[in-house]
């Protein structure tokens, strides 16, 4: 008999495994928190710091930066979907084997496969033991490959980038490149700590099991969306692992979905509480189906063209019930929260929890917070 799981049951377990239902205990290693998230989106580093911080008690952005730049237990590099993430350094053998093995979608490459391999090798060689700015890395890559790699052919930010930058995400995903500390206002790049990648045949199934553990029940289409991978590839992977007994089918939201085999324990109680999640938080990106996480008005207000992450969101009892924005001025930060539905009001309990969440945002950002309830007037990703 197929196990049937409700949205509220799935949501409660996901929040628990994400350290969102109950924050991680003091002393929990930061890489363990990031591991449970399957990476913290870090295109904007302050958002990643908040994503980690709201899952903990006591940690601040300074602790995250120390893990990143001092003890290097975190690495800032290109992760799922080719976007910039913080990943645990000890998990690089998994990520750098699995991500390059995932086929991409439509190919509009300005490079041949051989040229792409040459550039990745040149990046890896150039960054060995040093931190270079983009301009410095450009000189080194062109010197190792040829002028063709430096041709300005990539439209970017009202200008043009050199050809070699089309595979920067590939260099990051394969372990040839990661971010170094900023040099003034300039980004730098370097090599991550040494590691040996897993075999891809082991890494890809392991990544799927990790994903289902944190975000299951899920489907091939949702997994493909999370990775920006072809649907057909994901469907074949699920089918193979199901046939091998690695994953099993359950009923979820009226349709078939999958969990890791044997991982079918779900509490019948939903989760009740209030949380503030920043831009591109891992939970808002990966938890599916979106229509259940963003019900009613939240689907229009808190998504941008159906895409999650462009607005920081207010979670109430496991679903998106508002958006928020923080504006920092010196040592103070104003947190404006727009509540959707219910006349824009929260219960007394929810109001107290929101105040606690705003205090926690201030602690993470090392600022004195002020809560304002009202309309968020800035647009997506402001």
Sort 51 into a burial class: Cβ within 10 Å, 0-12 / 13-18 / 19+.
Answer: buried
- Using a pLDDT cut of 90, give the percent of the chain over it: 90
Question: Average per-residue pLDDT in the chain?
Answer: 95
CA nearest neighbour of 216 among 32, 34, 7: 7
The pLDDT tens digits of the residues spanning 272-296 come to 999 999 999 999 999 999 999 999 9
The full set of domain ranges for the chain reads 274-373
DSSP β-bridge partners for residue 180: 188
Token pair 């009001």: residue: 345
pLDDT digits 0-9 by tens, 319-374: 999 999 999 999 999 999 999 987 788 999 999 999 999 999 999 999 999 999 99
Check pLDDT > 90 for residue 2.
no
| 249, 262 Cβ separation under 8 angstroms | no
Q: What is the C-alpha to C-alpha distance for residues 99 and 79, in angstroms, rounded to an integer?
A: 8
pLDDT tier at 51 (50, 70, 90 boundaries)?
very high
Among 220, 243, 239, smallest CA distance to 230 is for 220
DSSP string, 314-371: EEETTEEEEEEEEEEETTEEEEEEEE-SGGG---HHHHHHHHHHHHHHHHHHTSEEEE
Q: Is it true that domain 274-373 has CATH number 3.30.450?
A: no
pLDDT tens digits, residue range 367-376?
999 999 999 9
CA distance from start to end of the chain: 48
Query: Which of the four pLDDT bands, split at 50, 70 and 90, describes residue 128?
Result: very high
pLDDT digits (tens, 9 = 90+) for 58-115: 999 999 999 999 999 999 999 999 999 999 999 999 999 999 999 986 556 789 999 9
Q: What share of the chain in percent tops pLDDT 70?
A: 98
Tell me, what's the pLDDT at 155? 87
pLDDT at 157 over 80: no
CA distances in angstroms from 41 to 77, 82, 106, listed in the order given: 10, 11, 23
Q: Residue 338 half-sphere exposure, CB side, CA atoms within 13 Å?
A: 17
Cα(239)–Cα(220) distance, rounded to whole angstroms?
A: 9
Closest by CA position to 55, among listed 28, 90, 81, 80: 28
């Amino acid at each position: 008999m197929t196990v049937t799981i409700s949205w509220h049951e799935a949501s409660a377990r996901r929040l628990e495994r994400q350290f969102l239902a109950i924050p991680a205990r003091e002393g929990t290693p930061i890489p363990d928190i990031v591991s449970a998230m399957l990476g913290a989106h870090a295109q904007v580093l302050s958002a990643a710091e908040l994503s980690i911080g709201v899952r903990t008690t006591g940690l601040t952005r300074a602790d995250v930066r120390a893990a990143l730049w001092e003890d290097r237990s975190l690495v800032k590099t290109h992760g799922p979907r080719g976007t910039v993430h913080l990943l645990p350094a000890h998990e690089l053998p998994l990520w750098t084997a699995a991500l390059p093995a995932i086929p991409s979608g439509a190919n509009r490459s300005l490079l041949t496969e051989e040229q792409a391999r040459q550039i990745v090798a040149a990046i890896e060689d150039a960054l060995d033991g040093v931190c270079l700015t983009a301009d410095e890395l450009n000189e080194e890559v062109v010197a190792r490959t040829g002028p063709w790699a430096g041709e300005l052919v990539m439209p970017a930010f009202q200008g043009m980038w050199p050809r070699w930058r089309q595979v920067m995400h590939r260099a990051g995903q394969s372990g040839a490149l990661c971010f170094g500390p900023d040099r003034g206002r300039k980004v730098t790049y370097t090599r991550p700590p040494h590691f040996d990648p897993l075999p891809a045949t082991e890494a890809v199934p392991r990544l799927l099991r990790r994903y289902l553990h944190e975000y299951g029940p899920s489907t091939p289409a949702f997994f493909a969306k999370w990775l920006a991978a072809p649907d057909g590839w994901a469907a074949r992977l699920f089918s193979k692992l199901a046939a091998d007994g690695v994953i099993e089918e359950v009923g979820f939201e009226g349709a078939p979905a999958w969990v890791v085999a044997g991982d079918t324990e779900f509490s019948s109680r939903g989760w009740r509480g209030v949380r503030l999640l920043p831009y591109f938080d891992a939970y808002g990106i990966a938890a599916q189906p979106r229509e259940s996480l963003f019900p009613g008005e939240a689907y229009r207000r808190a998504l941008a063209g159906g895409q999650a992450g462009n607005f920081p969101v207010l979670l109430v009892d496991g679903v998106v019930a508002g958006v928020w924005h923080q504006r920092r001025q010196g040592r103070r930060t104003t947190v404006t929260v727009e509540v959707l539905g219910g006349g824009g009001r929260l219960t007394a309990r929810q109001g107290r929890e929101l105040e606690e969440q705003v205090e926690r945002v201030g602690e993470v950002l090392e600022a004195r917070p002020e809560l304002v309830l009202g309309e968020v007037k800035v647009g997506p990703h402001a």
